[in-house]
Structure 1
């Protein structure tokens, strides 16, 4: 090393020259976007560089520098690095063609292709920067800031003041994508001010530009710093038009009160009905979280809802939802809703009422690998309006008529329903032992009755009904040397009913205050899977037979039926030991279930599977032929000793095309009684789904004509970003479109927009067709807004 013209110079041609500056409190900071290098050791100017390296100074924040040339001008007290300069300090990096630190003026400067990376991932690019060594003031030219959230700020110049405010002149805010495609939108403003303390970006005289053209200019607006997850402020509004409420716009304000709780309030002025106010409070608590939502309006023109329960001045809704993890296996929670009327959620469906729905519940759940417990309380506030034409017993209208029109009073309060199931870990007689129990207790204010062909049916009975059920089952499988599978099984079901307060005057219910039923059963299932291989795959033929011996079901029609009202006999239930859907009915008599299963499997993943079979009542009374108080089994396909035939088919090409179908055929003439076909697939840019449903006449259920419908939907990718979509539901019997929708959308990493138009004729109540127009646009980091119209 030599002294040249009072300047001490160290030069290397290689970029690998690296020195650690142990400069005491030296540091590197950013202007939201830029940085400064500061040397504050007073001894620095009086020693040569090699001595500085060996000095014992504070090394808490060491700095690593790489450059082709490093110079120290002791006369002017200037340190400069030139030629592919790279500085690494405390998780910051700085790259530039030249870096100069002037100790006299306390200024730090970087020139030429300046690139700086912050610890949080922000990348700052500039032509040059000039900062004070106290980091409070600075200036930068031709600035671009890219954040990890894929947002970008650009400006001709930027100035930093008070270690907080960064002001960009002629600034542009936009997003960028991983595909490097330019964003279709940007916000251009005379000034963009980033307040790091408030974590807010302010725009003065901003203009929203789309495809290079300005589409909206406002005096001022602000957004939260993109790195901020929660920030108080106004959110993007939505716009509404509905014939009954008029025009309106939501004005949402978000209150980030604490890291563990927040509040969202929304005021929605409506030209026809006044102002709808909603508020949602959310809070995290130890082990869980909860929310409380309120919504209310004092209607200006309630007569617009004439004919429904919404015809009143003041209407409101309240919902609370929450859940708490009591342990790693136990959870308690609730979802409770109350509204002044049943139509409130539908009439103001554009508003967010939290998790509000017709069912309210409080629950306790526990689960392990072999044990499951759930207890719940339920209440229902239905949205369906009462029949506008009350039933006249003197002039019934076959085939289906309500006995009483007060639908809400027929809804039960369940207090409680408790389910418990256990699969015992230790085998019993070499097999699996399982236990299931259920307790159901409910109260109904009014009997839920209706008439079909002048015969009364009952969904539920006035008063209080309680049932305790306990089921125990066992099964074991054996495989013989030929591959045949034998599975013996047995079960016992018991029901204890408490009927003291149930209304027995309107039904054929037993007069007993307490009733008991039991159903023991033994059975055997046999299957013989036959594997046939071929070049490229294999086939499996599997005949299956099942026989179950039981006594007759007891007291059919004398007891309530609350949870076994759904009766669907198809291929999925063919081999169920008991095909009833709940505990209130138990299948009785000796029955055989027979079927043939087939699977075609290709080595490349495609496969097809099918099942065909039927059920036969061999001895005893057929439970499905004897009606209970609801008579849900009359047209089930099981009401005769020889059941209808059931079949299913599933096909998967492993290339995106799938088809599934199931059907039930009459036992006598093989006519279709029920059928469902669903298929979906994708070919090139087109993806589509199509469904078909058929239900034959069910006179016993009040359906005097067959029903056939098709539902289809499609999505066509016009390009990487543009798509068209649509759907239709068509009534094949009446030859009319029930619902239809058509739309177009655009989606990329910075912009999402869609426009759709839909029609709904499904109400069948004489009202005009509901026409729904919906437009949505979302600018990433700015927000989403929508415009919707409806009835």
Structure 2
């Protein structure tokens, strides 16, 4: 019969008679407990427990076949197999041990330490010191599964001695030798690595190898430096044949937000005697009274740096500072933006470089009159560094130094009603008050003001049908009759040069993206929306739309789909199936049933793969500075071959020029102890990448240490 005995109450753990009562209370709180099939006392100072022995000291648990306690020396002699589990979940296994009564000091023979169910440290013997340190002699360390008949692990670190600091969660190696399939690869006299439970530890991280046709072969060795609990910095020297680069990343968490700064400084042979680099910074902070402060800053030394070094950033960098407050009835936002174009064909002096916006919107729900009264105010300005008041010698037709400021206000009232037969009617009235100020433009008036009224009547007639098997179908025709008074003032079109006609603005009184342009005259918009949800779970939707206007508007370009008194047909559809298949299409169909603008995206996602393909078409349009048609398709895919292998592919092909824009392939292998990532990409000449480049990247991460990622997800048993 199993016996339960408190070692504190036993003779072996009896406290001295002269101990104070408070000391007895404190010791009792950490009393050791013993559970065994059989417990007996030999003489007056020796206690023996045998058969399924389990001892507990605080949160530390020990199991063995036999424990002998000697009260004269306060030591435990333990026969294995021994298993000790500490409060952190680390496991220490041994054949034989001599420990003190608190299981904090002693010697273990044939010891194996398993940290966080990932990293194994097998040794001839281990010594526990002060309950904090475990000193292991003649050690083999690996996170690979080790089985009796499987041969050597994929990798291991052999060391003369390893010390595990349980409090600092660090591993210290003396005389370390790194082996792959038991073949010595490198010898390191002293080595420190974080154990798997430590998330942030100072030291080197996983290096990566990069080979570039522009920079040559190189290696990146990141070094992580924690600065307290809330900030850190990572320095990454990048040494290549044609470049010496220092990359950095700084992160800090605040009580109300966070900050991240990344960048690099380079000295290379691509631009000799020239300092090159980039700096990105982003952050978000919650302020008082529901305000949100966000910023995203970006700067680069030259137009080709990001492409040369494989840094994602696009061909136009925008640095943004914004302050926003959103409440149920109030919206406020102010933005300050700086643009830097990286296109070789664009001059930053003649582009709108500095842009400022303020927008305020408030809604009032009227009890007596009904409906909603909405008040909106907006101010905008943008600035060019050039001082020319005419068009310069470049290819475009814009005034090179034009600077613009505008103030716009809108007062609107809107309401909706349900009429007999389920017909939905809506009415909205608008009054816009606009003022425009233009400088350094010989073709436009300096000051322009106007007041513009508008009204819209909308009718919707939704029909819904539910099938006997649970399917649902919705058909909703909609018609809107609109009118905007006044005529276009003599201010330049500097913001609304690119117009998109889509489902979002089909029923708008103005389809221009900014308030420097408004549509005038009478318009009629008609559309049809159809949606269906099948009992099997798949859904599909289709939207048709068309617009008629009283007079043509010369500000609408050919590819906008709004040129002339009659617009192109707007077509948009989507389909989604529970198996992971999605499809979306959108396009404009002209009078001759030809696409003037179109895009499509198809995707298939499941447990084994993520595939996607997209298509884009833009016709020639002189008003949008597009002398040739643009037609391209892109493909991206990820295929998980099995639990350990996965591969990815991306490609972008220009159908108009019949050439590849970019290709890339990736291959990843991972198991319980290693992760290998390889990628190859080819970028062809573009507006920002004047020289084609080919890049290869390789990263090998050893799992089981906090720098290499978790090994738990891929843990396998020896019979696999």
Q: Same fold (TM over 0.5)?
A: yes
Q: Report the alpha carbon displacement of residue 162 of structure 1 after superposing the two structures with TM.
A: 5.7
What is the distance in 2 between the residues matched to 1:758 and 1:272? 19
**Deviation for aligned residue 1:609:** 0.8
CA change 1:234–1:441 in 2 (3 A) is: same
The alpha-carbon distance between structure 1 residues 731 and 360, as it changes in their structure 2 partners (threshold 3 A), is closer
Matched-pair contact (CA < 8 Å) for 1:548–1:592: yes
The structure-2 alpha-carbon separation of the partners of 1:592 and 1:195, relative to structure 1 and needing over 3 Å to count, comes to same
1:643 aligned to 551, 567, 573, which one? 567
- Which residue of structure 1 lines up, in the alignment, with residue 444 of structure 2? 509
- Please tell me whether residue 412 in structure 1 is matched to residue 349 in structure 2: no
Match of residue 501, structure 2, among 555, 566, 569: 569
Q: Does 1:314 align with 2:275?
A: yes
8 A Cα contact 1:382 1:408, kept in partner: no
What is the alpha-carbon distance in structure 2 between the residues aligned to residue 518 and residue 184 of structure 1?
77
Cα deviation, 1:744-772, whole Å, max 9, x if unaligned, reads 22234543223232222251799554222
Q: Aligned in 2, Cα 1:777/1:466: closer, same or farther, shift over 3 Å?
A: same
Superposed CA RMSD in Å reads: 3.7
Query: Is the counterpart of residue 272 in structure 1 residue 209 in structure 2?
Result: no
Asked if 1:70 corresponds to 2:39, the answer is yes
Checking the alignment, whether the CA contact within 8 Å between 2:557 and 2:621 is kept in structure 1 is no
- 1:246–1:272 contact (8 Å) kept in structure 2: yes
Alpha-carbon displacement from aligned partner over 1:228-257 (angstroms, at most 9, x marks no partner):
222222233333343444443334332223
Judge conservation of contact 1:23–1:57 (CA < 8 Å) in 2.
Answer: no
Given the alignment, which residue of 419, 431, 444 partners 1:492? 431
Equivalent of residue 176 in structure 2, options 203, 206, 217? 206
> What do the CA deviations read for 1:646-682 (whole angstroms, capped 9, x no partner)?
1111111221111111121112x12221121211114
Q: Which runs of 5+ in 1 are unaligned?
A: 1-12, 27-37, 45-54, 306-310, 388-404, 786-791
Equivalent position SS for 1:421:
strand
- Structure 2 residue 356 is matched with structure 1 residue 421: no
Deviates more, 1:56-65 or 1:594-603: 56-65
Are residues 599 and 448 of structure 1, via their aligned partners in 2, closer, same or farther at CA, if it must alter by over 3 Å? farther
The answer to whether the 8 Å contact 1:342/1:381 transfers is: no
1:248 to 218, 233, 242: 218
Give CA deviations for 1:436-489 in whole Å, capped at 9, x if unaligned.
Answer: 33222232112799989999632x762643222223333322223422211222
Determine whether 1:261 maps to 2:231.
yes
For residues 559 and 390 of structure 2, the distance between their equivalents in structure 1, rounded to whole angstroms, comes to 18
Mapped partners of 1:693, 1:433: distance in 2: 40
Question: Residues 266 and 775 from structure 1, CA distance in 2 versus in 1: closer, same or farther, beyond 3 angstroms?
Answer: closer
1:544 is the counterpart of 2:478: yes
Q: Does 1:592 align with 2:551?
A: no
How many angstroms does 1:503 deviate by? 0.7
Number of corresponding residues: 698
Q: Deviations over 1:261-317 (max 9, x none)?
A: 3333333344434x3334444444453343555643455x4xx33xxxxx6433354
Q: Structure 1's 148 and 597: CA in aligned 2 closer, same or farther, altered over 3 A?
A: same
**Which moved further from structure 2: 474-483 or 419-428?**
419-428
What's the CA shift string for 1:387-429, capped at 9, x where partnerless?
A: 4xxxxxxxxxxxxxxxxx6334534223x32122334466673
Name the counterpart of 1:741: 664
| Distance (Å, rounded) in 1 between the aligned partners of 2:297 and 2:628 | 39
Secondary structure of the 2:513 match is coil
Pairing 1:682-721 to 2, within 5 Å after superposition: 682=605, 685-721=608-644
Residue 95 of structure 1, CA deviation: 2.2
Distance 1:543 1:165 in 2: 75
Q: Show the counterpart of 1:626.
A: 554
Q: Tell me if the contact between 1:136 and 1:160 (Cα under 8 Å) persists in the aligned partners.
A: yes
Kindly tell me: are residues 595 and 317 of structure 1, through their superposed partners in 2, closer, same or farther at Cα, counting changes over 3 Å?
A: closer
SS of structure 1 residue aligned to 2:527: strand
How far did residue 210 of structure 1 move? 4.8
Q: Give 1:567 shift.
A: 0.7
Does residue 39 (structure 1) correspond to residue 13 (structure 2)? The answer is yes
Does residue 440 in structure 1 map to residue 390 in structure 2? no
Distance 1:151 1:285, change over 3 A: same
Contact 2:321 2:335 in 1 (8 A): yes
CA contact under 8 A between 1:78 and 1:101: conserved in structure 2? Answer: yes
Contact 1:337/1:356 (8 A) holds in 2 = no
Partner Cα separation in structure 2 for residue 357 and residue 453 of structure 1: 22
* Alpha-carbon distance in 2 for matches of 1:339, 1:540: 51
The CA distance in 1 between the partners of 2:394 and 2:259, in whole Å, is 49
**d(CA) in 2 for partners of 1:753 and 1:561?**
53
CA gap of 1:366–1:762, structure 2 versus 1, over 3 A, is same
The yes-or-no answer on 1:366 pairing with 2:331 is no
* 1:191 matched residue in structure 2: 161
Instruction: Rate the CA distance shift 1:734–1:727 in 2: closer, same or farther, 3 A.
Output: same
Q: Hey, what does 2:21 align to over in structure 1?
A: none
Calculate the TM-score normalised by the size of structure 2: 0.86
Q: Residues 584 and 602 of structure 2 are in contact (CA less than 8 Å); yes or no, is this contact kept in structure 1?
A: yes
Q: Which has the higher contact order (CA 8 A, sep 6+)?
A: 2
Contact 2:349 2:384 in 1 (8 A): no
Partner Cα separation in structure 2 for residue 184 and residue 452 of structure 1: 66
Once the 2 structures are TM-superposed, how far is the Cα of residue 541 of structure 1 from its aligned partner? 1.9
SS class of match (1:643): coil
Question: Using a 3 Å threshold, how does the CA distance of structure 1 residues 602 and 202 change in structure 2: closer, same or farther?
Answer: same
Query: Is contact 1:19-1:64 (8 Å) kept?
Result: yes
- Verify: 1:659 aligned to 2:598, yes or no: no
Number of the residue aligned with 1:527: 460
Aligned residue in 2 for 1:92: 60
Q: Normalised by the size of structure 1, how large is the TM-score?
A: 0.79
SS of corresponding position for 2:28: coil
Tell me the equivalent position of 1:347. 308
- 1:614 positional shift: 0.5
- State the SS of the aligned residue for 1:504: coil
- Identify which of 126, 146, 155 aligns with 2:114: 146
Question: Contact 2:349/2:386 (CA < 8 Å) preserved in 1?
Answer: no
